[in-house]
């Protein structure tokens, strides 16, 4: 049809998967904008790449995001939880894809045994803020099992421990919080390696559902610290208030 605008036709050089990922990314952005809830939950059979516009929208709207990846039977595989209240730098794009593996030749030389589960993040480097990762591991570890989280620095060929404490497998899943992405792995073996000073102090916690909770947690921490530094405590009696010094 000579009246048809060539621009209306599909471009044969365009990869359909690129369009699908763009549509899904836009869908996430739309859900964040349109939702009346502070916590926006998205389930999908594929991970997508979230660009800075999504994170900036979350921060502006004061919304939090839980992005879950499920298989074709809707069985949970893994999820990312971002809380806009702890964003430090939204000028970053994050590919949410995570591949699980039982082998990694570069890392295994640092282990005494090879019973590790490797989590290969498509994204490498910093995140807009702390992210809580929940991963289904029921095919590798039983409920109640204590495991340790590590990450592998490819440039330095070095393994770092993430967090001081072991994580507990619950309901077939493990949950931890990270500040950056790399190749992580879980093992029941506690390695004598350096603790990553930049990791979350306690990796076994949930990202708060709203940014306001983060502010409250900070306030509570400051109040406790102030009271702990006092050298006296106050005892209220029927006659009034008496200060007793240690």
Q: What percentage of the chain has pLDDT greater than the value 90?
A: 62
**In degrees, to the nearest 5, what angle opens at C-alpha 63 toward C-alphas 62 and 69?**
155
Query: What per-residue confidence (pLDDT) applies to 6?
Result: 52
Cα(113)–Cα(147) distance, rounded to whole angstroms?
A: 14
- Per-residue tokens: 77: 């595989």
The per-residue b/e assignment along 92-120, b for 16 or more CB within 10 angstroms, e otherwise, is: bebebebebeeebeebeebbeeeebbbbb
Per-residue pLDDT at 65: 97
**pLDDT score recorded for residue 233:** 41
Per-residue pLDDT reduced to its tens digit, 74-120 = 999 999 999 999 999 999 999 999 999 999 988 988 887 778 999 99
pTM for this structure? 0.73
């Amino acid at each position: 049809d000579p009246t048809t605008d060539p621009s209306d036709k599909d471009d044969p050089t365009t990869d359909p998967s690129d369009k699908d990922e763009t549509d899904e990314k836009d869908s996430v952005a739309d859900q964040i904008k349109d939702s009346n809830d502070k916590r926006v939950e998205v389930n999908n059979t594929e991970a997508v790449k979230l660009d800075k516009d999504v994170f900036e929208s979350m921060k502006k709207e004061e919304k939090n995001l839980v992005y879950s990846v499920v298989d074709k039977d809707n069985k949970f595989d893994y999820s990312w939880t971002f809380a806009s209240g702890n964003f430090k730098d939204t000028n970053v794009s994050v590919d949410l894809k995570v591949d699980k593996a039982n082998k990694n030749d570069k890392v295994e030389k640092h282990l005494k045994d090879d019973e590790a589960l490797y989590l290969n993040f498509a994204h490498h480097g910093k995140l807009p803020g702390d992210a809580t990762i929940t991963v289904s591991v029921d095919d590798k570890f039983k409920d109640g099992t204590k495991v340790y989280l590590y990450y592998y620095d490819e440039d330095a060929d070095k393994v770092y421990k993430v967090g001081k404490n072991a994580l507990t497998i619950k309901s077939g899943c493990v949950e931890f919080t990270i500040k950056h992405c790399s190749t992580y792995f879980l093992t029941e073996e506690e390695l004598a390696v350096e603790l990553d000073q930049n990791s979350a102090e306690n990796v076994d916690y949930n990202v708060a559902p709203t940014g306001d909770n983060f502010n409250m947690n900070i306030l509570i921490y400051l109040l406790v610290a102030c009271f702990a530094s006092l050298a006296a405590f106050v005892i209220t009696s029927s006659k009034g208030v008496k200060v007793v010094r240690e």
